Every structure is written in C-alpha cells, then in structure tokens.
Structure 1
C-alpha cells in the first residue's frame, strides 16, 4: 500500500486474534482430556470391588451342615471328660449298668519296643483285659478304646504294639468272654498311680481301673 501523503510504501496490518482463539481452543480440549483421564482413573481404583467368592464362602455351610445345629451334651458327662464308672482297683472286676463285666487278669512288666511312629521304647506294662458279656445283646469289640494314664493329673501313657499287644476285635456274643492285650510305656518309678480306662460304646460310661500296677 502507498501512503498518498508522503509516497512511502506501508505494509498491511495483520490481525492476530484468530490465532489466539485457536490456541485457546486447543488448551481447552487438552484440559478436558486430562480431566476425564484423571477422574476415570480415580473411580476405577478408588473403591475395590467386592469379592463374590469371599462372601459366598462366609455364608455357605460346609459339607451341607446345618449352621444352627448344636451337639447335644451328654448329661452324665462332666465338663471336658467322657462319662466314667466309679474306679476300681486293678485286681477287682468292674461291671456296667447293662451287665458287661471287665477285669484285668494279668499285668506284666516288659521292655517295650518302638516299631511305629510316635512309640517310645523302654520299660512298659503289658495288661491283659477280659470282658464277659452278661447282657442279652452282642457287643461290637471293634468299638473298644483302651487308654492308660499316669498320676493324679492323668498324663497319657504311650501305647505300644510290641511286645504282644492284641487289641479286642470281632463281636462278643451274649454270654461269651473275650480277651485283649495292651502295652503301655510306663516308667518303673511311676507305676504306683496308674489309671486304665476301657470305653466300649459311645454314650456309655467307661470302665476305670486305678491303682498300683508295678
């Protein structure tokens, strides 16, 4: 352009505002993108999803068991113990209310042998027990559990297989007798107060023999 007043050439003035608007628009778009990226990330990791497996395992009963069912306590049992008959001396017979008679027919000092896991070899006592069935029904001898304890506090004595253990087995008919042999690791200096129990049926009081077995 020529300035008619002085004849000089003058450059045309460019308008800058369209560029400013474009830059501002770009900044707005970037800001919106950043905002949505931050908010979506926070909502995804801010609150952990609940675990369906954890809630299911907490509410479902195990093996179909009724969670409201409670075991019925045995009225004849004292807290923490099984029901027992009154103890008798090792050389005396014991009789249950239904007519089964138990007795220790022999006690023999032996040297116990460790042949199974948990057994400890050493001075032991071998007990021969006899059952007489004076009831009208057979007795399943496979259900019998015999245990020995040492001292007033009833420290469990370790049972052994050898020498000569032969637990009760089979069925004892009405009017018949049967024998079982049991071996327990009992030190010689602890045989003055030993308790031997014979549990023959669930819910029935166990036979108890207590005294000197040395």
Structure 2
C-alpha cells in the first residue's frame, strides 16, 4: 500500500466515525424533543381525583329561585260579618260599612260608562299601637249572581289615603258600576293592606 492510499484510508475512517457520531447526537436530540415535559412544581403527572360537592341548599342548576321580595303574599282568611255590623279583625283594626246605597253614575273619565252603581262608605278604626298606611286599601264588590262591580272614580268616590294614627279613624267612599238587578244582595271585601285580615260584608241594601 502506498503512502497516498494509507492517507486516504485514514481519512475515510475518520469520516465514518464523525458521521456515526453526528447520527447519534441527532438521535439523542430528537429523543429529548419528544419526551413529555414535567409541569412546573409537580412531580406527579397522574390526574388528581375530584369529588362532586352538592349545593348547601340542595337543588340543581335547572331550579328556578324566586327572590324573597317577589314571593306572592299569601291570602289572609276573611272575617265575615253582616253588612250593618263592624268587622273586628284579629290585629286590632276595625272596619265598618257606614252606608251602602244605589246611585247613578256619570262618565267622568275616558273609558267609564254611566249607569247603575253602588256607593260604599267605609270607616276604618286603628286599634293597634302603630300608625297604619291606608294608601293601599283594596275594596271589591260582588252582586247577587256573582257579578263583579266595576270600580269607578265617579262621584261620590273618595278612596282612603294617607296614614291613620294609633287610636284614630278614617273614612273613604268607593263606587262600583253594576247592573241594577244585581244590587240587592251584595258581598263587599276590604283589605286595608296586603296580607292583613280581610273584612267580608254580606247583606242587602
């Protein structure tokens, strides 16, 4: 073998070693790129077991929750009394029909109809120890055959308003349009405030 051939053989062996080394390094780099990273601060890649905790008050996400202020006010029991006698309520309030008469109304506001009606004059006495607001008094009237009286502002209507002090009293007048043949036997309900006992007066006029 000549000197030139030896030199060429050595160079060839060198290239072979360098090539194998390069392949090995590349393989190690690829292996490093494909390994899954470990999350910061965690030494365990297993999922953490969780438990479903029920809501303190029970129920599901499909339940509808009604706000307390939106809850309907339960209807109070009615205290029935003859038309000509006062109704003494359990809370100390006293309601009386001082007059109920047949009247003929005139159409004084748009939508009202002139015709036969009943005017009911009421007196409320505050037998409690507190001032009572009368701005939300509700009065209704039903005729002989169950016909509902239509509230009207025609004279002599003068609804309750303002407040009534403890021990004081107030009067108010309500007018209801109703067919003439329905005015004999009446039922009148009075609720001085929502949720309070209801006075129910029944009788003929």
In the alignment, what sits opposite 1:162?
Answer: 154
1:72 shift after superposition: 5.2
In the alignment, what sits opposite 1:114?
Answer: 107
Counterpart CA distance in 2 for 1:84 and 1:149 is 18
Q: Deviations over 1:100-146 (max 9, x none)?
A: 00001112221111222442211111111000111111110101111
CA RMSD in angstroms, aligned pairs only: 2.1
Q: Deviations over 1:7-33 (max 9, x none)?
A: xxxxxxxxxxxxxxxxxxxxxxxxxxx
In the alignment, what sits opposite 2:138?
Answer: 145
User: Does the 8 A contact of 1:85 with 1:96 survive in 2?
Assistant: no
Counterpart CA distance in 1 for 2:150 and 2:105 is 10
Give TM-score scaled by structure 1 length: 0.60
Q: Does 1:124 align with 2:83?
A: no
User: Does the 8 A contact of 1:102 with 1:207 survive in 2?
Assistant: yes
Which residue among 128, 131, 135 is the counterpart of 2:128?
135
SS in 2 for 1:210: strand
User: Does the 8 A contact of 2:142 with 2:186 survive in 1?
Assistant: yes
SS in 1 for 2:82: coil
Which residue among 52, 59, 64 is the counterpart of 1:67?
64
Counterpart CA distance in 1 for 2:65 and 2:156 is 47
For structure 2, list consecutive stretches of 5 or more residues without a partner in the other structure: 1-62
1:149 shift after superposition: 1.4
User: Does the 8 A contact of 1:119 with 1:159 survive in 2?
Assistant: no
Q: Does 1:200 align with 2:192?
A: yes
Counterpart CA distance in 2 for 1:163 and 1:85 is 29
In the alignment, what sits opposite 1:181?
Answer: 173
Q: Deviations over 1:51-79 (max 9, x none)?
A: xxxxxxxxxxxxxxx932276566xx5xx
User: Does the 8 A contact of 2:82 with 2:203 survive in 1?
Assistant: yes
Give TM-score scaled by structure 2 length: 0.62
Counterpart CA distance in 2 for 1:94 and 1:175 is 16
Counterpart CA distance in 2 for 1:132 and 1:73 is 27
Which residue among 163, 180, 196 is the counterpart of 1:171?
163
In the alignment, what sits opposite 1:102?
Answer: 95
Which residue among 70, 75, 78 is the counterpart of 1:85?
78
